[in-house]
Structure 1
Amino acid sequence: MDLSHLGAPVGPMIRVNGGFANRMYRLDTDQGSFAVKELNLLDRRRPYRAEEVFRFERAAFAAGVPMPEPISAGHGTLVHRWVEGEKVPEAPVPAAYAFEVGEILARVHALDVAWTRVPIEEPVSRDWPELAARAAATGQPWAGELASRVETFLAIAHFVDTCERPGPVVLTHGDVQPWNLLARQGRPVVLDWELSGMLDLSGELGSTALSLAKGPGFDDIEPAVFRSVLDGYVAGGGALPPPGPGWFVFMIGGWLGHTRWNILRCLAGAETGTGPDLALSQESVRDGVRGLPELFGRLAEFEALLA
């Protein structure tokens, strides 16, 4: 990758741990510090719209959204100004932090940025029995757990396909989760905009509010934190859609697709040059096989948070 426009390096580019889809590096030069992201273009779940995402990021940054400054977007490489901050743990965040995230979403949704509409996505895959059989044949460590939950995964796929989305559809970040946030002096910074696009508003709000209000499982949800995200959204000028299961279908569907994508990577059994490490894919599958059925089983409980 040609990074000469970033200045003369003052040290080697350093791999940053993590990355559920791509690979991240830090580069220090005589012009500052930069986050260099190597995009996985080999087996993405959907095409990456680099130019439109970069234009959206530039508009959000210019509007004062707290985020790393977008520097450049080339084929397979994104560059942002490096931002120092504390990682957000997978635990209920302070209510004030959640409120500000809600306000940020309202500001993002108010941006006037052109975006090319895409065709309606294909129906959710229903090949879970086949995946379970292949997992058993290849000796995957989670094969037995997946086989015992095939019917549940088929039910989840049906729910994602048929659940009504109340609208409206907005142009948004699409993945405001703890792992895509930093805390800088206690206030949020929004990272990783690659999944930006058009999304049902309730799905964006439900996914964000639930993720910020819970810990690693679903036993320590803080309703006040959940409500703080929504209160912040209203305070920022946004209007809430009507309550219903559609608030959580995007979160469930996203996790379902992410789990299936990582299953396919594990079944291939080979380390690829881009995207997550094979060990991280194995971890993601284990989390999905165990966590998705629990998430789906507690849907009515989550809907109660909207009352």
Structure 2
Amino acid sequence: MDLSRLGTPVGPMTRIHGGYANRLYRLDTDQGSFAVKEMNGLDRRWPYRAGDVFRFERAAFAAGIPMPEPIAADRHTLVHRWAEGDRIPESPVSPGYAFEVGEILARLHAIDVTWDDAATEGPAARDWPDLAERAAATGQPWADELASHAGTLLTIARFVDECERPGPVVLTHRDIQPWNLLARDGRPVVLDWELSGMLDLSGELGSTALGLAKGPGFDDIDPGIFGTVLDGYVAGGGVLPPPGPSWFVFMISGWLGHTRWNVLRCLAGVETGTGPDLALSHEAVRNGLRGLPDLFSRLPDLETLPG
């Protein structure tokens, strides 16, 4: 992408480290500051729909959703106006913040944008025992953990494929989590829209509400904050689906796929030119191997939260 349209640089473009999927840079010019995201084009888990996502982002921005202004997009690069704000810590958010995120979801789901949903995700991968053998053979530092959890990961994959989604299906962000949010004057700003697409409503609400209601693990979930996200959704005009395991299957499915993707990057053993650094991939694998079995074991208790 030709970045000269953004103005004359007033300093070098700087890398912002920490991304678990793509690579982000900040560019300051005489026309302002911009977030320039280099999309991982080597081993994405699914094709990136740059044009569709950009059109959805523009519609959301025009509708007043608090987010960075989308400037330009192609298959390789995304550009947004740089958004200032405070990062969200790994702890339950304030009631006011939670309520406003719920309202944002309701407003987002009401946006009328045509979206071709012909593409569907395939079944969850079942090769965890094979990956465990490869991890042991290549001396991965988490090989023993993967071997001990391979059976549980297979059970989780079956759950992902067999869990009934009650609908409705909505066009949405799909990843409103603390790592994709800022707080500006105490109010939410929604970042990182590239996973946007169609999603079962219960999966969207459960993933978002749980992400905002807990700390780093699952021992300090605040049911009040979970409910406040849903209160905001209803206040914004949304209708809640019935409670059940479908509220959490999208979070579990996404984490399972993300863990496997990073396992494969670690098994390759090379630092690729796009996507997360190899050290971050190892961290993501460890987090998944420890967190996924814990999350899955707590599913019966989590199912009571939407009620």
Instruction: Name the TM tier (shorter chain).
Output: over 0.9
Partner of residue 116, structure 1: 116
**What is the count of residue pairs matched by the alignment?**
307
What are the ranges of 5 or more consecutive residues in structure 2 without an aligned counterpart?
Answer: none
Q: Distance in 1 between matches of 2:213 and 2:226?
A: 5
Deviating above 4 A after TM superposition, structure 1's stretches of 4 or more consecutive aligned residues are none
Look up the match of 2:260. 260
Per the alignment, residue 167 of structure 2 pairs with 167
**Could you tell me how far 1:122 is from its partner in structure 2?**
1.2
Shift of 1:17: 1.5
In 2: Cα distance, 1:207 partner to 1:273 partner: 30
1:41 maps to what in 2?
41
What pairs with 1:189-204 in structure 2 (closer than 5 Å)?
189-204=189-204
The CA deviation at 1:304 is 1.2
1:276 is the counterpart of 2:301: no
The alignment status of 1:182 with 2:176, answered yes or no, reads no
Instruction: Give, in whole Å, the separation in 1 of the partners of 2:50 and 2:170.
Output: 19
Q: Which amino acid aligns with 2:147?
A: A
Match of 2:9 in 1: 9
* Percent identity between the two aligned chains: 77
Mapped partners of 2:211, 2:119: distance in 1: 28
Letter in 1 for 2:149: R
Give the AA of the match of 2:180.
Answer: N
Whole-angstrom distance in 1 between the partners of 2:16 and 2:218: 29
- Give the C-alpha shift of residue 119 in structure 1: 3.2
- Residue 303 of structure 2 aligns to a residue whose secondary structure is helix
- Deviation, 1:75, is 3.1
Distance 1:118 1:68 in 2: 29
Matched with 1:234 is 234
Following superposition, the deviation at residue 90 of structure 1 comes to 1.1
Q: Deviations over 1:226-283 (max 9, x none)?
A: 0011000000000000110000000000000000000000000000100000000000
- Aligned-CA RMSD value: 0.6
1:73 and 1:116 map into 2 onto residues whose CA distance is 19
Q: Aligned equivalents of 2:74 and 2:194: distance in 1? A: 13
8 A contact 2:100–2:229 mirrored in 1? yes
Alignment of structure 1 residues 130-141 onto 2, 5 Å:
130-141=130-141
Corresponding residue for residue 223 of structure 1: 223
TM-score of the superposition, structure 1-length normalised? 0.99
Structure 2 SS opposite 1:304: coil
Query: CA–CA distance in 1 between the matches of 2:236 and 2:213?
Result: 19
Structure 1: how far apart are the matches of 2:157 and 2:239?
29
d(CA) in 1 for partners of 2:66 and 2:13?
Answer: 25
Shift of 1:18: 1.2
Distance in 1 between residues matched to 2:280 and 2:2, nearest whole Å: 28
- Provide the TM-score with structure 2 as the length reference: 0.99
Q: Aligned pair 1:243/2:217, yes or no? A: no
Amino acid of the structure 2 residue aligned with 1:182:
L
Write out per-residue CA displacement over residues 59-89 of structure 1, whole angstroms, 9 at most, x where no aligned residue. Answer: 0000000000000002300000001000001
Q: Which residue number corresponds to residue 158 of structure 1?
A: 158
CA distance in 1, matches of 2:263, 2:37: 23
Match of 1:29? 29
Q: Deviations over 1:133-181 (max 9, x none)?
A: 0000000010001101111000000000000001000000000000000
* Residues 285-300 of structure 1: pairs in structure 2 closer than 5 A: 285-300=285-300
Partners of 2:164 and 2:265 in 1: how far apart?
31
